[in-house]
């Protein structure tokens, strides 16, 4: 059974959550973060998919952290899923990686820059795993129908998720167009708002991406009000010490309070 088989593209029940660190840094860190989020999501009755990248392929600088080794990180993701009984998601960058990653996780994620890569989408669909495709920063929501078609034409049984992560706004910023959420929901798939990467400030002169994490709650609240089916939030006990994308992460101790507010917003919208 697909890990998202109980997630509808309508607003029945609570939104679901894809959350975790940007990258798998070590076993202890991954298990501690997963345990913390799992406890919160269980209390709030929010479906939870643990996120962690086994490798970061899209880095500006050669000396940026990319991972601890593919198999080692994937085995940690598998352990997280088995320990807490939750689905897991990780991103793949080339077609040959799909089969490898599919042995360890439940959802394969296609990075935004690669959402038009036909071979990658086809390979992910062929594994039979659920596929989360991040909308390119250069695309409209309506353009994502072609990504959905590539996956569904390859494997009609594939479960597909689409995730918005903002659009390029000049050279060093992103802006969120919330029209993309209903536009992508028209394809009858769950639509997620990436509340952390949409606040990145890419192409900094330092070669390290910046961000505006103080606005994570703003993006999340607006997305739930518009009707997003799920939220994607990268989080860490101490974002300043994270080895990847710490500049736009949510501190883990802020997660429960934010999710509680978001449930209230969703309930208010549903009953309005």
* Residue 261: per-residue pLDDT: 97
* Residue 5: per-residue pLDDT: 57
Through-space distance between the first and last CA atoms of the chain, rounded to whole angstroms: 34
Residue 250 has phi, psi (to 5 degrees) of -90, 130
d(CA 73, CA 23): 9
d(CA 268, CA 257): 17
Query: Has residue 139 got a pLDDT over 60?
Result: yes
Mean pLDDT, rounded, for 120-139: 97
CATH superfamily, with its number, for domain 16-270: Aldolase class I (3.20.20.70)
d(CA 200, CA 249): 10
Q: Which residues pair with 193 in a beta bridge?
A: 164, 231
Of the listed ranges 45-49, 140-144, 246-250, the least confidently predicted one is: 246-250
Three-class DSSP labels, the chain? CCCCCCCCCCCCCCCEEEEECCECCCHHHHHHHHHHHHHHHHHHCCCEEEECECCCCCCCCCCCCCCCCHHHHHHHHHHHHHHHCCCEEEECCCHHHHHHHHCCCCEEEECHHHCCCHHHHHHHHHCCCEEEEECCCCCCCHHHHHHHHHHHHHCCCCCEEEEECCEECCCCCEECCCCHHHHHHCCCCCEEEECCHHHEECCCCCCCCEECHHHHHHHHHHHHHHCCCEEEEEEECCHHHCCCCHHHCEEHHHHHHHHHHHHHHHHHHHCC
Confidence of residue 8 (pLDDT cuts 50, 70, 90): very low
pLDDT digits (tens, 9 = 90+) for 22-81: 999 999 999 999 999 999 999 999 999 999 999 977 656 666 667 799 999 999 999 999
Query: Has residue 148 got a pLDDT over 70?
Result: yes
d(CA 225, CA 195): 14
* Residue 206: per-residue pLDDT: 53
Of the listed ranges 57-71, 111-125, 158-172, the least confidently predicted one is: 57-71
pLDDT digits (tens, 9 = 90+) for 204-245: 545 445 677 889 999 999 999 999 999 999 999 998 888 876
């Amino acid at each position: 059974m697909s890990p998202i088989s109980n997630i509808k593209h309508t607003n029945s029940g609570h939104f679901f959550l894809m959350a975790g660190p940007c990258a798998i840094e070590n076993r202890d860190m991954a298990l501690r973060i997963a345990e913390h989020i799992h406890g919160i999501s269980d209390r709030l009755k929010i479906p939870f998919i643990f996120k962690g990248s086994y490798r970061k392929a899209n880095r500006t600088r050669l000396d940026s952290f990319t991972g601890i080794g593919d198999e080692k990180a994937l085995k940690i993701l598998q352990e997280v899923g088995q320990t807490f009984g939750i689905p897991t998601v990780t991103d793949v960058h080339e077609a040959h990686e799909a089969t490898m990653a599919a042995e360890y996780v439940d959802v394969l994620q296609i990075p935004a820059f690669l959402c038009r890569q036909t071979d990658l989408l086809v390979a992910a669909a062929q594994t039979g795993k659920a596929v989360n495709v991040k909308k390119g920063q250069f695309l409209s929501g309506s353009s994502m129908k072609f990504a959905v078609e590539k996956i569904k034409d390859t494997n009609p049984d594939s479960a597909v998720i689409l995730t918005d992560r903002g659009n390029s706004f000049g050279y060093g910023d992103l802006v969120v167009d919330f029209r993309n959420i209903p536009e992508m929901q028209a394809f009858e798939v769950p639509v997620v708002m990436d509340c952390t990467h949409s606040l990145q400030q890419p192409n900094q002169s330092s070669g390290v991406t910046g961000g505006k994490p103080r606005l994570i709650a703003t993006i999340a609240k607006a997305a739930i009000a518009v009707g997003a089916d799920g939220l994607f939030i990268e989080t860490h006990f101490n974002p300043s010490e994270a080895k990847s994308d710490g500049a736009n992460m949510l501190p883990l101790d802020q997660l429960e309070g934010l999710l509680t507010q978001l449930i209230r917003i969703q309930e208010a919208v549903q009953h309005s």
